[in-house]
Structure 1
Amino acid sequence: MELASTSSVLLTVVCVLVVTVLIKVVNWVWLRPKKLDKLLRQQGFSGNSYRLLFGDLKDFASMRTLALKTPMTSFSDDHYSRVEPLRHHHLTTYGKDYFLWFGPVPMINISKPEMIRESLTKMHEFRKTKVNPILKKLVPGLSNLEGEKWVKHRRLINPAFHMEKLKLMLPAFHDSCAEIINKWEMVVAEKGSGEVDVWPDLVKLSADVISRAAFGSNYEEGQRIFELLKDQADLALLMIQSVYIPGERYIPTARNRRFKETEDKIHTSLRTIINKRKEAIEAGEEAKSDLLDILLNSNYTEMQQAVGDGKFRHVGMSIEEVIDECKLFYFAGQETTSALLVWTLILLSKHQDWQARARDEVLQTFGDTVPEFDGLNHLKTVTMILYEVLRLYPPVPRVTRQIYKSTSLGELSIPSGTLISFSMHSVHRDHEIWGDDAQEFKPDRFAEGISKATKGNNSFFPFGWGPRICMGERFAMLEAKMALSMILQRFSFELSPSYVHAPTTVLFLQPQHGAQIILHEL
Structure 2
Amino acid sequence: MVTSSVMSLLGAQAAALPWKQLLACAVVAWCAVRALEWAWWRPRRLGRALRAQGLSGTVYRSLEGDAPLMDRLNREARSRPLPLGCHDVVPRAMPLYHQTMKEHGKTSITWFGPVPRVTITKPELVREVLSNKFGHFAKVKFGSLQRRLHNGLGSHEGEKWAKHRRIINPAFHLEKLKRMLPAFAACCAELVQRWEGLVRDGEPCELDVGPEMQNLTGDVISRAAFGSSYLEGRRIFQLQGEQVGLVVQAMNRIHIPGYLLLPTRNNRRMKQIASEIEVLLKGIIAKREKALRAGNASGDDLLGLLLESNIEHCRGDGNPKAGITTDDVIGECKLFYFAGMETTSALLTWTMIVLSMHPEWQDRARAEVLHVFGNRTPDYDGMSRLKIVTMVLYEVLRLYTPLSTLLRRTYKPMELGGVRYPAGVVLMLPLLCVHHDKDVWGPDASEFRPERFAQGVSRASKDAPAFFPFGWGPRTCVGQNFALLEAKMGITMILQRFAFELSPAYTHAPFPVGLLLPEHGAQVMLRRLP
What is the deviation of 1:66?
A: 3.3
Alignment of 1:19-98 (within 5 A): 19-98=29-108
What is the deviation of 1:42?
A: 1.5
2:116 is aligned with what amino acid?
P
2:29 is aligned with what amino acid?
V
Q: Is the 8 A contact 1:399 1:421 kept in 2?
A: yes
Give 2:320's aligned residue: 312
- Distance in 1 (CA, whole Å) between partners of 2:249 and 2:355 is 33
Q: Is the 8 A contact 1:169 1:213 kept in 2?
A: yes
What is the deviation of 1:108?
A: 0.1
What is the deviation of 1:406?
A: 1.5
Q: Is the 8 A contact 2:440 2:463 kept in 1?
A: no
2:374 is aligned with what amino acid?
G
Out of 289, 312, 335, the residue aligned to residue 278 of structure 1 is 289
Give 1:127's aligned residue: 138
Q: Is the 8 A contact 1:132 1:240 kept in 2?
A: no
- Distance in 2 (CA, whole Å) between partners of 1:186 and 1:422 is 44
Alignment of 1:423-462 (within 5 A): 423-455=430-462, 457-462=464-469
Report the more deviating stretch, 56-65 or 237-246.
Answer: 237-246
Give 1:353's aligned residue: 360
Alignment of 1:444-483 (within 5 A): 444-455=451-462, 457-483=464-490
What is the deviation of 1:251?
A: 3.4
Give 1:173's aligned residue: 184
- Distance in 1 (CA, whole Å) between partners of 2:463 and 2:264 is 51
- Distance in 2 (CA, whole Å) between partners of 1:211 and 1:74 is 35
- Distance in 2 (CA, whole Å) between partners of 1:196 and 1:254 is 33
Q: Is the 8 A contact 1:187 1:193 kept in 2?
A: no
- The question of 1:229 aligning with 2:237 is answered no
What is the deviation of 1:73?
A: 4.4
Q: Is the 8 A contact 1:111 1:426 kept in 2?
A: yes
SS in 2 for 1:108: strand
What is the deviation of 1:62?
A: 2.5
What is the deviation of 1:131?
A: 4.2
- Distance in 2 (CA, whole Å) between partners of 1:264 and 1:6 is 52
What is the deviation of 1:429?
A: 2.0
SS in 1 for 2:111: strand
Report the more deviating stretch, 65-74 or 469-478.
Answer: 65-74
Give 1:501's aligned residue: 508
Cα pair distance change 1:44/1:69, threshold 3 Å? same
Alignment of 1:124-163 (within 5 A): 124-131=135-142, 133-163=144-174
What is the deviation of 1:419?
A: 0.4
Give 1:106's aligned residue: 116
- Distance in 2 (CA, whole Å) between partners of 1:40 and 1:243 is 24
Give 1:9's aligned residue: 19
TM-score normalised by the chain length of structure 2: 0.94
- Distance in 2 (CA, whole Å) between partners of 1:391 and 1:226 is 26
What is the deviation of 1:136?
A: 3.5
- Distance in 1 (CA, whole Å) between partners of 2:270 and 2:528 is 44
Q: Is the 8 A contact 1:100 1:107 kept in 2?
A: yes
Q: Is the 8 A contact 1:61 1:241 kept in 2?
A: no
Report the more deviating stretch, 127-136 or 464-473.
Answer: 127-136
What is the deviation of 1:7?
A: 5.8
What is the deviation of 1:220?
A: 0.9
Report the more deviating stretch, 164-173 or 92-101.
Answer: 92-101
Q: Is the 8 A contact 1:100 1:106 kept in 2?
A: yes
Give 2:10's aligned residue: none
- Distance in 2 (CA, whole Å) between partners of 1:94 and 1:222 is 47
- Distance in 2 (CA, whole Å) between partners of 1:38 and 1:389 is 40
Q: Percent identity among equivalent residues? A: 47
Give 2:213's aligned residue: 202
What is the deviation of 1:399?
A: 1.2
- Distance in 1 (CA, whole Å) between partners of 2:455 and 2:395 is 13
- Distance in 1 (CA, whole Å) between partners of 2:336 and 2:360 is 35
Q: Is the 8 A contact 2:171 2:302 kept in 1?
A: yes
- Distance in 2 (CA, whole Å) between partners of 1:277 and 1:286 is 7
Out of 383, 386, 394, the residue aligned to residue 376 of structure 1 is 383
Cα pair distance change 1:454/1:73, threshold 3 Å? closer
Report the more deviating stretch, 252-261 or 460-469.
Answer: 252-261
What is the deviation of 1:246?
A: 4.4
Cα pair distance change 1:456/1:41, threshold 3 Å? closer
What is the deviation of 1:425?
A: 2.3
Q: Is the 8 A contact 1:64 1:85 kept in 2?
A: yes
- Distance in 1 (CA, whole Å) between partners of 2:82 and 2:362 is 24
Q: Is the 8 A contact 1:55 1:104 kept in 2?
A: yes
Q: Is the 8 A contact 2:64 2:255 kept in 1?
A: no
- Distance in 1 (CA, whole Å) between partners of 2:463 and 2:76 is 39
- The question of 1:116 aligning with 2:126 is answered yes
Q: Is the 8 A contact 2:288 2:297 kept in 1?
A: no
Q: Is the 8 A contact 2:121 2:433 kept in 1?
A: yes
- Distance in 1 (CA, whole Å) between partners of 2:418 and 2:293 is 54
After superposition, give the CA deviation of every residue in 1:254-275 in whole Å (9 maximum; x if it has no partner). 3322211111000000000001
Give 2:312's aligned residue: 301
- The question of 1:484 aligning with 2:495 is answered no
After superposition, give the CA deviation of every residue in 1:407-430 in whole Å (9 maximum; x if it has no partner). 111311111111001212221122
Q: Is the 8 A contact 2:370 2:496 kept in 1?
A: yes
Give 1:326's aligned residue: 333
What is the deviation of 1:104?
A: 0.2
What is the deviation of 1:159?
A: 0.9
Give 1:511's aligned residue: 518
SS in 2 for 1:413: strand
After superposition, give the CA deviation of every residue in 1:369-388 in whole Å (9 maximum; x if it has no partner). 11011111121111111111
Give 2:3's aligned residue: none
SS in 1 for 2:65: coil
- Distance in 1 (CA, whole Å) between partners of 2:16 and 2:262 is 34
SS in 1 for 2:118: strand
What is the deviation of 1:482?
A: 0.5
Q: Is the 8 A contact 1:427 1:459 kept in 2?
A: yes
2:154 is aligned with what amino acid?
S
Report the more deviating stretch, 297-306 or 6-15.
Answer: 6-15
What is the deviation of 1:363?
A: 0.7
- Distance in 2 (CA, whole Å) between partners of 1:131 and 1:483 is 33
Q: Is the 8 A contact 2:398 2:435 kept in 1?
A: yes
Q: Is the 8 A contact 2:148 2:271 kept in 1?
A: no
Runs (5+) with no aligned partner, structure 1: none
1:430 is aligned with what amino acid?
D
- Distance in 2 (CA, whole Å) between partners of 1:248 and 1:235 is 14
1:242 is aligned with what amino acid?
R
- Distance in 2 (CA, whole Å) between partners of 1:234 and 1:387 is 27
1:12 is aligned with what amino acid?
L
SS in 2 for 1:510: strand
2:422 is aligned with what amino acid?
P
1:445 is aligned with what amino acid?
R
- Distance in 2 (CA, whole Å) between partners of 1:99 and 1:175 is 48
RMSD: 1.6
